[in-house]
Amino acid sequence: MKVSDLYPFVPTWAQDALCSLYGYRLIRRRYGNGYDDLARTVLARGRLEPDELRRLRDERLRRTVQRAAEKVPYYRRLFRDLRLDPRDIRAFGDLARLPILTKPQVQENLAEFCSDDRERLQTTTTHTSGTTGTGLVFPMTLEAEQEQWAVWWRYRQRFGIYHSTWYAHFYGRSVVPLSQMRPPFWRVNYPGRQILFSGYHMSDRYLGYYVEELNRRRPPWIQGYPSLLSLLAGYMQSSGNRLAYRPDIVTVGAESLLPHQKRSIEEAFGTTCRQHYSTTEAVANISECPEGRLHVDEDFSAVEFVPDEQGTVRIIGTGFANDAFVLIRYQVGDNVVLPRVQPVCPCGNPGRVVESIDGRIEDYVVTRDGRRLGRLDHILKDMVNVRECQIVQTEVGQVEFRVVRGPRFGRTDREALLEEARKRLGDDTRIDITYAETLERSNTGKLRFVVSRVAGNAVKMDAT
């Protein structure tokens, strides 16, 4: 039996211990041998002059393309079919000579993107779902994972956040059993300095306990999904049950931060809310600076902004770090709005500026007992045979999973989907699974993962 199967049935202190054990293992992996030197290098790269940064980006790009052409089956074939010498891709602008890569292409040919020498590399298995509910499971080198985390900590250090900083964490992990009806609705990862608040118990009935625990522990840093933190912020504003202290900062990620969410979070928490954008595939990273501008981390990957026929600007990324699984010109599935003129930011970061990111926007699912659940993509983490998925709710306590099946989708996939959904939605939620050839998209071509037709639970797109 897996530890995860036992977890819901052991007492709270044991769940804290298991969270801490898991956190300790993550720390050893992410910040183990070689991390300190790598972190210093990444920090120094953040101080490069614009010309130096462009030279570094082009140098890393050339290495990535050359390695892909030699070691990765998909790119060996691609360069041969295009009759293109990989040495002709010398600079950022040369990437346009290669085709854009979509997630379904990768999903259907997963092994073709793995390097021939991955067996001799130190790797871990990485899982992603993304905005469309399309799962990928792929190898990532430990060095690539460490570099990704070093880039994220570089962003955090700009705001005085360090590895020793305690923080409240509002994300989608099921750290508290759904059946639990009394506090604590949080668990503690002591090595990681995390207070892990459940994202699955956030109803007005329980949110007062969340505020009490924040006031008791007073974490200086609060981090989470915008949808969850705006729920807590809305509760504090409407109930008058406020924090008795002022956190140093709130940071958000994994979803688009909408303007009204930012206003609500900053007003309720009494501090600045900053955002960060990244991809599990390690092909794009965009960080907000202290001046409030979103900068591309040019040293980490080659990020292109490519307009489509509808006039939206897509994020296309080429990762530099992961030698085990190479993605060149990968279409992430998110869009950006660019400024008319690139500003020179007083913060000194030479990375290109993005005005806003139109990415992971979801409605809430409402359970029978009044909980509002956002960011449910963890359900699809290992569903590699699901081409696309959309959760639709028309009545409280009832949801429909609309699934576009991959060619290998079968009964076991359906059962696994139901099992993962029940873990997060509970046994009293009716879950229907239906199949479709295609799913309805917005006028910008994006697929909304969660669509609510229950009054008051859709994400407001243009609130003032």
> What CATH number did the domain enclosing 405 receive?
3.30.300.30
Q: Are 98 and 89 in contact (CB under 8 A)?
A: yes
Give the model's confidence band at 461: pLDDT under 50 very low, under 70 low, under 90 confident, else very high: very low
165 and 210 in one domain? yes
Cβ neighbors of 251 (< 8 A, separation 6 or more) are: 156, 159, 161, 221, 222, 223, 273, 274, 275, 276
| Mean pLDDT for the stretch of residues 333-343 | 89
CA distance 288 to 417: 35
Q: Which residue has the higher pLDDT, 464 or 15?
A: 15
pLDDT tens, residue by residue, 270-296: 999 999 999 999 999 999 999 999 999
| CATH code of the domain containing 89 | 3.40.50.12780
Which of 333, 358, 383 delimits the end of a domain?
Answer: 358
379: left (phi over 0), alpha (psi -120 to 50) or beta: alpha
For residue 459, is it within any domain? no
pLDDT surpasses 60 at 443: no
Q: What is the pTM of this model?
A: 0.81
98 and 178 in one domain? no
Which of 323, 358, 393 delimits the end of a domain?
Answer: 358
Q: Are 331 and 304 in contact (CB under 8 A)?
A: no
| Mean pLDDT for the stretch of residues 245-261 | 88
For residue 342, is it within any domain? yes
Bridge-based pairing state of the strands 294-296 and 285-288: antiparallel
CA distance 276 to 223: 11
Pair of tokens at residue 340 = 């008319």
Adjacent-strand bridge partners of 69: none
Tokens 């959904």, residue located:
421
Calculate the average pLDDT of the chain: 89
Q: Which residue has the higher pLDDT, 453 or 244?
A: 244
47 and 25 in one domain? no
For the residues of 173-223, what is the DSSP string, one character each?
---S-TT--SS--EEEETTTTEEEE-SS--SHHHHHHHHHHHHHH--SEEE
CA distance 380 to 359: 17
For residue 305, is it within any domain? yes
Adjacent-strand bridge partners of 144: none
Q: Looking at residue 464, what is its pLDDT?
A: 33
Q: How far is CA 123 from CA 38, 78, 193, in A?
A: 17, 25, 26
Beta strands in 8-96 (DSSP E): none
Give the model's confidence band at 444: pLDDT under 50 very low, under 70 low, under 90 confident, else very high: very low
For residue 411, is it within any domain? yes
pLDDT surpasses 60 at 89: yes
313 and 183 in one domain? no
| Mean pLDDT for the stretch of residues 79-88 | 96
For residue 128, is it within any domain? yes
139 and 175 in one domain? no
pLDDT surpasses 90 at 371: no
Q: Looking at residue 366, what is its pLDDT?
A: 86
For residue 23, is it within any domain? yes
Q: Looking at residue 360, what is its pLDDT?
A: 59
pLDDT surpasses 90 at 230: no
pLDDT tens, residue by residue, 108-155: 899 999 999 999 999 999 887 555 555 788 999 999 999 999 999 999
Which of 322, 340, 358 delimits the end of a domain?
Answer: 358
126 and 190 in one domain? no
Q: Looking at residue 462, what is its pLDDT?
A: 41
Q: What is the CA radius of gyration of the chain?
A: 22
CA distance 188 to 196: 6
37 and 103 in one domain? yes
Q: Looking at residue 458, what is its pLDDT?
A: 62
Give the model's confidence band at 463: pLDDT under 50 very low, under 70 low, under 90 confident, else very high: very low
For residue 255, is it within any domain? no
Pair of tokens at residue 26 = 């993550």
| Mean pLDDT for the stretch of residues 229-239 | 88
35 and 21 in one domain? no
377 and 447 in one domain? yes
Q: Looking at residue 382, what is its pLDDT?
A: 72
Q: Looking at residue 442, what is its pLDDT?
A: 54
Q: Domain of residue 410: give its range.
A: 365-452
pLDDT tens, residue by residue, 391-427: 999 899 899 999 888 778 999 999 999 998 988 888 8
For residue 460, is it within any domain? no
| Mean pLDDT for the stretch of residues 87-101 | 96
- Among residues 382, 398, 401, the alpha carbon closest in space to that of 390 is found at 401
Centre a 10 Å sphere on the Cβ of residue 43 and count the other Cβ atoms it contains: 14
CA distance 265 to 268: 5
| Mean pLDDT for the stretch of residues 80-101 | 96
- Among residues 252, 333, 322, the alpha carbon closest in space to that of 287 is found at 252
Give the model's confidence band at 447: pLDDT under 50 very low, under 70 low, under 90 confident, else very high: low
301 and 165 in one domain? no
96 and 120 in one domain? yes
* Number of folded domains that form the chain: 3
Q: Are 350 and 48 in contact (CB under 8 A)?
A: yes
Give the model's confidence band at 254: pLDDT under 50 very low, under 70 low, under 90 confident, else very high: confident
pLDDT tens, residue by residue, 303-334: 999 988 777 889 999 999 999 999 999 999 88
Rounded to 5 degrees, what are φ and ψ at 251?
-120, 145
| Residue type at 416 in one-letter notation | A
24 and 168 in one domain? yes
SS3 40: helix
CA distance 192 to 171: 15
| Mean pLDDT for the stretch of residues 250-278 | 90
Cα torsion 35, 36, 37, 43: sign: positive
